[in-house]
Amino acid sequence: MKNALIKFALSILFLVSFEVRAASMPLLSPDYYLGRAVEWILAAGSYLGHEEFVQIVDSKTEHRIENALNQILSHPVKNYRYKRARVILIKGVPGEPNAYSIGPVIYISWSLAQMLDDRQLVAVIAHELMHSEQAHLLQRVPVPLGAIVLSLYQGAASGRAQKLKLKAIFETIKDTIATNHLAMELQADCYAAQQLAFMHDSGLSNEPEDLIKATNRILGIDVLHDVTEGPDYDRASALVNKSYLLGCEY
């Protein structure tokens, strides 16, 4: 009896330690802290005149976003690091629907959410969640950001000079997250397509083709008929001919 109780107690201890470890995994990731820092900087920027980062309160749209994220996380194709990823609805730049991830936080512009149906919204969030999973933020921000931060500590500077440098940090982050890297986009598309396919196989209506429809809506192109050149068309074309599958090997 005593041995049985000991085994039972050890089993409970193991399960608890496993859950604690799983919950703490994001806290062990450098991109978690970098993402939180960038989130704070963007929030500060919204109070300094950068209205594109102002958070929008729209219960209906927020509910759609929450449902989309829950659909993904309730049918995960992999063990996600960020099981509690935050999705923030922001004003965005007029005429430029956009979404991007910064570690544990995903930003979606209000105009993007309005132009997509529910399945396309799931596809976009799956894509952004994959950016977070692959720690793409760590590959894009630290070098330019680190160079500017380092300059803040080099020699004495006037208050005005320090403010200009802080403004440069914000602009660097803003430009970096607004710049698309085709290889990273294809990798996010690849894993997101796998997620959508898994959801479809699980009995949901989602499917990889939702990525094509969402991308066409966001970019304002029709890759099935338009023929031109450029990163946007390369990415959209990869979705159509499924060459994005090579992106998983990036």
89, containing H or E segment: strand 86-90
Q: Given this model, what pLDDT does residue 6 score?
A: 47
Q: How confident is the model at residue 110 (pLDDT cuts 50, 70, 90)?
A: very high
The segment with the largest mean pLDDT, out of 12-16, 137-141, 143-147, 240-244, is 137-141
Could you tell me the pTM of the whole model?
Answer: 0.77
Asked whether residue 216 is domain-assigned, the answer is no
Is 158 among the domain residues? yes
Question: Is 118 or 31 the better-scoring residue by pLDDT?
Answer: 118
Within a domain: residue 76?
A: yes
Residue 235 lies in a domain: no
Other beta carbons within 10 Å of 76: 13
Q: Is residue 218 part of a domain?
A: no
Q: Mean pLDDT, to the nearest integer, of 95-102?
A: 88
pLDDT (0 to 100) of residue 48: 78
Residue 186 lies in a domain: no
| Whole-angstrom distance, CA of residue 208 vs CA of residue 152 | 46
Q: What share of the chain is helix, strand, coil (3-state, %, to 5)?
A: 70, 5, 25
| pLDDT reading at 29 higher than 60 | yes
Q: Which of 98, 91, 132 is nearest to 116 (CA)?
A: 98
In this structure, is residue 155 part of a structural domain?
yes
Q: Which domain holds residue 70?
A: 13-179
CA distance 103 to 38: 9
| Number of structural domains found in the chain | 1
Average pLDDT over residues 81-106: 88
Token digits of residue 92: 């965005």
* 240, part of any domain: no
pLDDT greater than 60 at residue 124: yes
Coil, helix or strand for 134? coil
Stated length of the chain: 250
